[in-house]
Chain A
Amino acid sequence: MSNESVTGVDDPVLVVDGLEKRFGGIVAVDGASFAIERGVITGLIGPNGAGKSTTFNCITGVYKPNGGTVTLDGTEITGKRPEWIANRGLVRTFQIARELPEMTVIENMMLGPQNQRGESLLQSVVPGLRRGVVAEEEGLRERAWETLELFEIDHLAHEKAGTLSGGQRKLLELARALLTDPEVLLLDEPMAGVNPSLEKKLIERIHELKEQGYTFLIVEHDMEVIMENCKRVIVMHQGDVLADGTPAEIESNERVIEAYLGGEV
């Protein structure tokens, strides 16, 4: 694993090296390599079919890659189970928000924290042990409420998540992901279907969290959002990384303009 050669990034927290994913004869990701710097917001862009979502799915364990490695904080996580990866601090949201519709907002939130005692059947059921579960739940409940307040959706706490608007769902998903105590957050199109005022709020939150030390990798179609908020931008094209640099570098990169931006910028 040659982190330095791949990355050119100081203090990389997530390193993807030569990632490959094939579906039958189609090569969706073809040797993509990049690194994500700790504590910054990195954007991942590319035209439809460039392999962004597949890359996300390979990193987070939803798909098993056919080749290459993914390393989180020095630990190789290639091909591990999604829950194992999430447990180690790499947590994602989905392009189409995957709130749990029949559960209330606060129930959704309570799912976030990792390694809860009460997730074991015995601990939850056996009389003596349950006391510990209840005590832990009291703490989790407090954190859940605080996070809901931070995201300004606490007034929706007892609504079923399925009744929320698209933007509110995105907020919920991010808030819930935050409760997992992640190190790296992968957001798949967080602004899709979000109205402008909520979008502003969402971006503010992301910046606040970045200041607290969280790392973000964001797939997004809205160029303005990416260029204004990311420190670095990775451009994918046909399953591989086409360019990797600051927003200014990307905007002036000839190959990017040709392949993706079509000369608009």
Chain B
Amino acid sequence: MSESNSERRTRLLRLGGFVAATYIGLFLIGFIGGLSLNEIFGQLISITMYAGVFGLLALALNLHWGYTGMFNIGIAGFMAIGVYTMVFLTASPDPVASPVAGLDLPILVGVLGGVIVAAIFGALLAIPTLRVRADYFAIITLGFSEIVRLFIQSDTLGEIEIGDQVYGTGAGRSVRYSNFRDLTDVVVQTFVPSAIFDTLGAVGLSDSLVRRLFYALVVLLFMLAVLWLLRRIARSPFGRVLKAIREDETAAQSLGKDTRAAKVTVFALGAGLMGLGGILWHGQGSFVEPDLFLPIYTFFIFIALIIGGSGSNLGAMVGGFVFAAFLWDGPRYLRTIVSENLDIDAPQTIYHAGAELLQFDVVPLISYLAESLDELRWIFIGIVLIVLMLRRPEGLYGDQEDIAAAVDLTERPPRGENNE
């Protein structure tokens, strides 16, 4: 349980080495594969951004599932609420810019609004379901997330005319919105001297790449802020109550803990953070559509957290990174490299590739596999999960749980009155 400082240092060093090795490895693969620096760095930045997004979402899920034992499989729903609220608050009223009008508020208001509305929906969902057992609760959250998505998709809410403006969710269509580039631009113009652009430009990196880099850094900052918040919760009496709820809610109640209030609070908080995660995820693009909030996206977050280790904040972030680097973006990267280097048309099916293989020609098989990486990575994810569950069911860092107290509990008071 209590890990010595040197053990912790070794562990973190090893982790740092792993992350560095991943970046260097990806860089070298791209370099040997003949990609341009812009392409390589674009990929590394993309992985960094997604690592931040998945890390943040896994942290939020850890608050629900890892700390409190609330099995929330409605993450996508809260992401959707956050994103669509932000769209509504910030979209331009100009019909040319966006199919549905918004309030044209500043982006930060949009972010904050999205988080708050997602949190409110979290509380509204938690209150009536407090007494429901964990497995039923899971089904309810899944149902909720689908209701949100289908609501957004429905024609009824798609376009609502108020005055001479058309508001609404855009139904199934993509909705454009004033995106995070606004925020990124502000940050970049204020804090980044143009010399950096010039320097990076001299190496051959484009301005848009630098912008994306700063967006990724903003996402990482948000993730670290969430980490700070969660650590503080974990090491507090509030976090102790959450842990007690996870372990045995009846026992917690019989110790005088208001578990219902704690559950509503923590569910609202986590839901708000999931809204934030959704906003950061889709904030880099310039449109949203309901299909971005299918239940499968909820399970991606679960995969990230399970890989990293539920219950551990460090695990959540490592899981987010591993998922982003190896399962989400890595395969696309490999495909780019392979298709750049093998200019043979990929065979239509695996049988064609197999037939070629019989003639000792492996190139068609490789290019076939590369072309199909988008599909194959799901098989890969499945294999990773199976191996992980067999070899290390607690995840990479599942044993790294904080002791739930605001002070160091190993510190004993001097033995005084207690005479043996």
Contact A101 B247 (CB under 8 A): yes
Q: B418 contacts A125, CB within 8 Å?
A: no
Rounded to whole angstroms, the CA-CA distance of A120 and B266 in the bound complex is 11
Q: How far is the CA of A146 from the CA of B239 in the complex (A)?
A: 23
- One digit per residue, 1 when the CB lies within 8 angstroms of any chain A CB and 0 when it does not, for chain B 194-233 equals 0000000000000000000000000000000000010011
Pick the contact of A130 from B239, B243, B255, B406 — CB < 8 Å? B406
Residue contact B259 to A83, C-beta cutoff 8 Å:
yes
Q: B265–A176 contact, CB under 8 A?
A: no
- Check if A141 sits within 8 Å of B256, measured CB to CB: no
Cβ-defined partner of B265 (8 Å) among A81, A121, A177? A121
Chain A nearest CB, measured from B267 CB (Å): 12
Q: Which of B1, B2, B412, B418 has the most CB atoms of chain A within a 10 A radius of its CB?
A: B412
- CB of B44 to closest CB in A, whole Å: 34
Give the B interface residue count (CB, 8 A): 43
Q: Which residues of A contact B250 (CB under 8 A)?
A: 62, 82, 98
Question: Cβ of A124 and Cβ of B254 under 8 Å apart?
Answer: no
* CB interface residues, A 36-69, toward B, < 8 Å: 60-62
Contact A121 B255 (CB under 8 A): no
CB–CB A111/B255 < 8 A:
yes
For B237, B258, B406, which residue has the most chain A Cβ atoms within 10 angstroms? B406
Contacts of A120 in B (CB 8 A): 238
Q: Assess whether A100 is in contact with B254, with CB atoms less than 8 Å apart.
A: no
Report B35-55 CB contacts with A as 1/0, cut-off 8 Å. Answer: 000000000000000000000
- Tally of A-B residue pairs with Cβ under 8 A? 141
Residues of A within 8 A of B166 (CB): none
Are B232 and A83 interface neighbours, CB within 8 A? no
Would A107 and B237 count as touching, CB distance under 8 A?
no
Check: A180 CB closer than 8 A to any chain B CB: yes
Interface contact B255-A176, CB-CB below 8 Å: yes
Among A83, A94, A118, A134, the residue within 8 A (CB) of B256 is A83
Binary contact readout A114-126 vs B (1 if CB under 8 angstroms, 0 otherwise): 1111111101110
B1 pairs with A118, CB closer than 8 A:
no
Interface string of B275-303 (1 = CB under 8 A from A): 00000000000000000000000000000
- Once the chains bind, are A107 and B407 in contact (CB under 8 Å)? no
A35 an interface residue at 8 Å Cβ cutoff? no
8 Å CB contact of A107 from B238, B240, B266: B240
Say whether B253 contacts A86, CB under 8 Å: yes
Residue B413 interfacial (CB < 8 Å):
yes
Contact of B236 among A62, A102, A124, A159 (CB under 8 A): A124
User: Is A142 an interface position by the 8 A CB rule?
Assistant: yes
- Contact (A145, B413) CB under 8 Å given A83-B253, A107-B405, A133-B406: yes
On whether the beta carbons of A87 and B256 are closer than 8 Å, the reply is yes
Q: B229 touching A125 by the CB < 8 A rule?
A: yes
Q: Are B232 and A124 in contact (CB under 8 A)?
A: yes
Q: 7 extra interchain contacts, Cβ-Cβ under 8 A, other than A98-B251, A130-B232, A180-B256?
A: A103-B247, A111-B241, A117-B237, A119-B262, A125-B232, A141-B405, A141-B413
Q: What are 8 A-B pairs with beta-carbon distances under 8 A?
A: A60-B254, A83-B258, A102-B247, A102-B401, A111-B244, A117-B237, A149-B415, A176-B255
A interface with B by C-beta (< 8 Å): 60-62, 81-83, 86-87, 91-92, 94, 98-104, 106-107, 110-112, 114-121, 123-125, 130, 133-134, 137-138, 141-142, 144-146, 149-150, 157-160, 176-177, 180
Nearest 8 interchain pairs by C-beta: A118-B237, A124-B236, A86-B256, A100-B247, A98-B251, A82-B253, A124-B238, A142-B413
